[in-house]
């Protein structure tokens, strides 16, 4: 059994849980449900017209149940068209109505010796639109109905009854296997999609988000209207570290800085590596003063946490550019980033300092903290 097969079975058995997990399955079942509701309404109309025209004879009770199922299908179709969220309540109602009409056909339409064949398309439809719970409900009611027709009405031989039961059960098993495989395939596609999304949004060296992830978060915060601050961080003289100690040590310095930045953010914040030695932090729901205090704490921590390699401490300092929505409320996200970049340029002139940006997009450098 494939890894996690029991989990797949539970998801399939739960029906609604699997639909919530995989939107593709929800879309497929919704499409099939619309189709079944339309088909049932059309078949009900044809049955009523045929009975009225004398093409076949249907007992009054079965005819009225068939017509009622047709009206129910039309009503449910109108309901889910206007309110798609009601689909999960609509399907069980439809399946119960379908089972009732099948039962009445088995017990009342004695002139049609092929009436039992309707259980096969009904069973397949119930499994598709209602998952395993819906399919098993139709299977159990079909076997009980066939048993009643066989032993109380002698509608078929015992051998015929056994044949119907075995074929319906075999069909159910095959559908369950196919649906489990379908769910498993969707899960693999979902995992692959998550992996690709992670690769597309993650810097492979530091494990931080990349520029794409940062820009997506920036746009989301801007659309929400939440107050936020942007902090650009640039490592001072990083090329000198690479040239003096090698790129492996430089990579370790980058990972060390990434760890410092990650440890300083809140759950709703994001830190990303957007260039070679340039990082960016997005602090949500903070004021400018808080952003400045946190930036100073980060600057001191980076400076006070050297990388130890070959018994030697490799110290690193960083400069910061800061901008905040409180002083740049009229700017769009891209202009906010430009403001922070210009503030970083101002800070870089003093190396190891921080500089906030004012609303004119120019950097106002604070006293050098280096």
Residue-level pLDDT at 328:
60
Asked whether 279 and 272 are in contact (CB, 8 A), the reply is yes
DSSP state of 275: S
Half-sphere exposure of 113 (CA within 13 A, CB side): 4
Q: Choose among 256, 251, 265, 230: nearest CA to 317.
A: 256
Decide if pLDDT at 335 tops 80.
yes
Residue 104's pLDDT is what?
95
Three-state DSSP class for residue 314: strand
Q: pLDDT tens across 15-24, in order?
A: 445 555 677 7
Residue range 133-141: mean pLDDT, rounded: 94
**Token pair 């952003």 in the structure block, residue:** 291
Question: 119 by DSSP, 3-state: which?
Answer: helix
pLDDT score at 343: 85
pLDDT tier, 13 (very low <50, low <70, confident <90, very high otherwise): very low
Q: Which residue has the tokens 């093409």?
A: 55
Mean pLDDT of 244-257: 92
Q: At 25, is the pLDDT very low, low, confident or very high (cuts 50, 70, 90)?
A: confident
For 192-228, how does the pLDDT look when each residue is reduced to its tens digit (9 = 90+)? 888 888 888 899 999 999 988 888 888 888 888 777 8
Given a contact cutoff of 8 angstroms between Cβ atoms, the answer to whether 131 and 15 are in contact is yes
Which of 197-211, 259-273, 326-340 bottoms out in mean pLDDT, i.e. has the lowest? Answer: 326-340
């Amino acid at each position: 059994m494939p890894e996690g097969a029991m989990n797949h079975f539970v998801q399939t058995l739960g029906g609604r849980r699997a639909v919530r997990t995989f939107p593709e399955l929800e879309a497929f079942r919704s499409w099939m449900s619309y189709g079944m509701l339309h088909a049932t309404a059309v078949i009900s109309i044809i049955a009523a017209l045929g009975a009225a025209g004398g093409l076949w004879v249907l007992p009054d009770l079965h005819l009225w149940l068939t017509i009622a199922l047709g009206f129910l299908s039309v009503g449910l179709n109108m309901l889910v068209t206007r309110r798609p969220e009601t689909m999960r309540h609509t399907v069980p109602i439809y399946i119960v109505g379908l089972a009732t009409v099948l039962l009445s056909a088995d017990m009342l339409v004695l002139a049609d010796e092929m009436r039992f064949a309707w259980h096969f398309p009904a069973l397949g439809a119930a499994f598709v639109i209602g998952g395993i719970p819906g399919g098993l409900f139709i299977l159990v009611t079909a076997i009980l109905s066939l048993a009643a027709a066989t032993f109380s009405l002698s509608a078929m031989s015992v051998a015929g009854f056994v044949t119907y039961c075995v074929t319906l059960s075999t069909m159910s098993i095959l559908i369950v296997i196919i649906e489990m495989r379908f769910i498993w395939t969707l899960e693999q596609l979902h995992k692959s999609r998550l992996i690709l999304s992670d690769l597309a949004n993650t810097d492979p060296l530091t494990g931080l988000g990349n520029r794409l992830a940062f820009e997506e978060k920036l746009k989301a915060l801007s659309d929400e209207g939440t107050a936020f601050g942007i902090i650009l961080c640039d490592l001072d003289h990083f090329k000198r570290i690479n040239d003096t100690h090698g790129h492996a040590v430089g990579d370790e310095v980058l990972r060390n800085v990434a760890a410092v930045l990650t440890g300083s953010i809140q759950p709703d914040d994001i830190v990303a590596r957007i260039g070679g030695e340039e990082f960016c932090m997005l602090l949500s729901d903070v004021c400018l003063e808080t952003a400045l205090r946190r930036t100073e704490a980060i600057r001191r921590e980076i400076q006070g946490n050297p990388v130890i390699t070959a018994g030697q401490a490799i110290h690193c300092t960083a400069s910061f550019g800061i901008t905040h929505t409180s002083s740049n409320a009229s700017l769009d996200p891209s202009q906010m980033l430009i403001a922070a970049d210009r503030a970083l340029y101002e800070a870089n002139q003093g190396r190891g300092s921080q500089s906030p940006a004012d609303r004119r997009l120019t950097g106002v450098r604070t006293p050098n903290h280096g």
